[in-house]
Amino acid sequence: MANTNYPSASQQPSSDNRPSNPNGNRNLIIGLLIVALLGTWGYMLWDKNSGTGNENLFSATESQTENVLSESDSLRQMFNLAEMRLDSITGANNSLQGEKTALQKEIDARKTEITKILSNNNATAADLKRARQLIAELNGQIGRLETQVTQLKGENQELTVRNTHLNTEKTVLSQNLDMRTAENEELANTVDVASTLSASGMSITPLKEKRNGKEKETSFAKKVDKLQIAFNIENRITTSGPADLYVVVTDPKGSIVQNNELGSGAMTTRQDGDRNFTAKIPVEYETGTRKGVSFPIKNMEGFKPGDYKIEVYHNGFKIGEGIRSLRKGIFG
């Protein structure tokens, strides 16, 4: 048999002298490392899961807070818009002030409750829900007011149109009335002028009354006791009947002679305004005839040297006038 490098079976050493097994020690070490690694991974996984839970809880709480704040801001904007609508309606329409007053208590109660909720930083979701409901009710009332505004505007426009028509008709009627009045006044003036008597043949005679009752004409002022006025009146249109003539006697100083016995007073003339007159002379006139009128004028203060002017009026119109001069005597 050939020699080999391998020992034979008969040459195997005994168990007491056998060296230790290196593979077994290695497996033990690997097992311990695996257990330690698994423990570390387990702890890390547990720690990670625990942190994520806390973060999720914090994130959820923060999200809820942000939602509440966002809802509160939104409701504040809605409330401000509602107040602006209400102010614009009632401010631009005075006729709704009474309606606003009737709703004021209810509106103020809602506004107070809404303001209280929105000013509470700790308001709950239920509080904000209540505020939203109140704002919706407030907007409903504002909507009714807006409807009333539209209706009132329509009624006002209709009334404006009616008033415009009425004012136009009133203006036309007023113009027609003014025209008719002017025509009537013109006609009345024409009738007055046409029916006014005319005087002609004016004469003024200064007379001295003698003791025997006779009268003598004189031109010396000191001797004159009266002025005898005479003229004729006529008119073809004037209706027959009584007529009043007003006589104005002006002395040399420009003063109107007044005599209560002659019925002196005041009258309104068509051209000279209000004037005092010396005497009122009633006459009876017949249509289409010429009638002579004569009457005396006495001056209680006596006559003075100078010009005496006589004016006669009828219907406010001057129908005749004349002047007579009186002289100064030798002895005054």
Question: pLDDT tens, 36-88?
Answer: 666 665 655 655 555 444 455 445 455 555 565 577 788 888 888 888 887 77
Give residue limits of the domains in the chain: 46-195, 198-326
Residues 6+ apart with CB under 8 A from 306: 221, 251, 252, 253, 325, 326
- Of 15-24, 150-159, 217-226, 279-288, give the lowest mean pLDDT range: 15-24
286, amino acid identity: E
Question: pLDDT tens, 274-315?
Answer: 999 999 999 998 888 899 999 999 988 899 999 999 999 999
Instruction: Please report the pLDDT score of residue 15 as a whole number.
Output: 44
Instruction: Please report the pLDDT score of residue 90 as a whole number.
Output: 65
| Cβ atoms of residues 114 and 134 within 8 Å | yes
11 pLDDT above the threshold of 50: no
Question: pLDDT tens, 54-63?
Answer: 455 445 455 5
Instruction: Please report the pLDDT score of residue 109 as a whole number.
Output: 83
Residues 6+ apart with CB under 8 A from 241: 284, 285
Between the alpha carbon of residue 240 and those of residues 227, 235, 283, 286, 288, the distances in Å are: 29, 10, 11, 4, 9
189 against 56, higher pLDDT: 189
How many other β-carbons are positioned within 10 Å of the β-carbon of residue 95? Answer: 13
Q: What is the mean pLDDT of the chain?
A: 79
Instruction: Please report the pLDDT score of residue 71 as a whole number.
Output: 76
Instruction: Please report the pLDDT score of residue 41 as a whole number.
Output: 58
26 pLDDT above the threshold of 90: no
Q: Is the pTM of this model over 0.85?
A: no
Give the C-alpha separation, 322 to 324, whole Å.
7
Q: What is the rounded average pLDDT of the residues 186-210?
A: 82
- Of 56-60, 161-165, 204-208, 240-244, give the lowest mean pLDDT range: 56-60
Instruction: Please report the pLDDT score of residue 102 as a whole number.
Output: 66
Instruction: Please report the pLDDT score of residue 57 as a whole number.
Output: 45
113 against 185, higher pLDDT: 113
Instruction: Please report the pLDDT score of residue 272 as a whole number.
Output: 86
DSSP 8-class letter at 331: T
| Cβ atoms of residues 237 and 248 within 8 Å | no
Place of tokens 């005092």: 276
Q: Give how far the C-alpha of residue 59 lies from the chain's centroid of Cα atoms, to the nearest Å.
A: 63
Tell me the CATH class for 198-326.
Answer: mainly beta
119 pLDDT above the threshold of 70: yes
306 against 31, higher pLDDT: 306
113 pLDDT above the threshold of 60: yes
Place of tokens 């005994």: 14
Between the alpha carbon of residue 187 and those of residues 149, 179, 180, 241, the distances in Å are: 55, 12, 10, 22
SS (H, E, C) 281-309: EEEEECCCCEEEEEEEECCCCCCCCEEEE
13 pLDDT above the threshold of 50: no
Q: Give how far the C-alpha of residue 253 lies from the chain's centroid of Cα atoms, to the nearest Å.
A: 60
